[in-house]
Amino acid sequence: MVLNEVALDKVVVHPLVLLSVVDHFNRMGKIGNQKRVVGLLLGSWSSKGVLDIANSFAIPFDEDDKDREVWFLDHEYLENMYNMFRKVNAKERVVGWYHTGPKLHQNDILINDLIRKYCPNSVLVIIDPKPTGLGCPHEAYKWYRRNVHDDWNVPT
C-alpha cells in the first residue's frame, strides 16, 4: 500500500524492533565509539492509516564526527539482507529506517533520499537507546515534499 493513498495516523513499533535497535547500539558501542547506529524498518501499512513496524535489521553505517556531510551506508549489505528477509516473510516490506538520535541530524535528508529508493514514502523513527524518562523512547517522522511556486514562475 502506498502512503499517498492513506494518511498516516499512527505508527506502531513492535517491542522486537526496539530490542533489536538497543542491541545494535550496544554491540557497536563495544566495538568503537559510534554515537548513533542506522538500520532498516520492515512492516506493513493498514488501510486505516496505521504503519505496523514488526521487524528491522542493522545496516553498516559510519559518519565523520568533524564533517557530518561525510557518511557511509553499505548499499550492498542492505540489498542482500532485504532479499533474505523477503524469502522468510514476503508480506513485510521496507517502510523506513531508524537511527539512535537523539535528534534529527543534517545528513538525515540525504540518508532518507537513499532509503526512498527502496520505499518512496519512508518513515524515519528515531529511537533513544538510553531513555531517561517514562514513555515511548521513539519518535516517527514522515518526509513531506512541498511544492512552492515562486512569484515569477506562476503562470498568469
- Higher-pLDDT residue of 43 and 155 is 43
Residue 156 has pLDDT above 60, yes or no: no
| pLDDT average, residue stretch 20-44 | 89
Residues 6+ apart with CB under 8 A from 8: 49, 51, 123, 142
Residue 131 has pLDDT above 60, yes or no: yes
Q: Name the maximum alpha-carbon separation found in the chain.
A: 62
Peptide bond into 102 cis (omega under 30): yes
Query: Whole-structure pTM over 0.85, yes or no?
Result: no
DSSP 42-110: EEEE-TTSEEEEEEEEEE-EEE-SS-TT-EEE-HHHHHHHHHHHHHH-TT-EEEEEEE--SS--TTHHH
Question: CA-to-CA distance for 51 and 59, rounded, in angstroms?
Answer: 21
Question: CA-to-CA distance for 132 and 92, rounded, in angstroms?
Answer: 32
Confidence of residue 128 (pLDDT cuts 50, 70, 90): confident
- Higher-pLDDT residue of 64 and 155 is 64
Query: What pLDDT, on the 0 to 100 scale, is given for residue 21?
Result: 93
Query: What pLDDT, on the 0 to 100 scale, is given for residue 145?
Result: 59
- Higher-pLDDT residue of 116 and 139 is 116
Residue 32 has pLDDT above 50, yes or no: yes
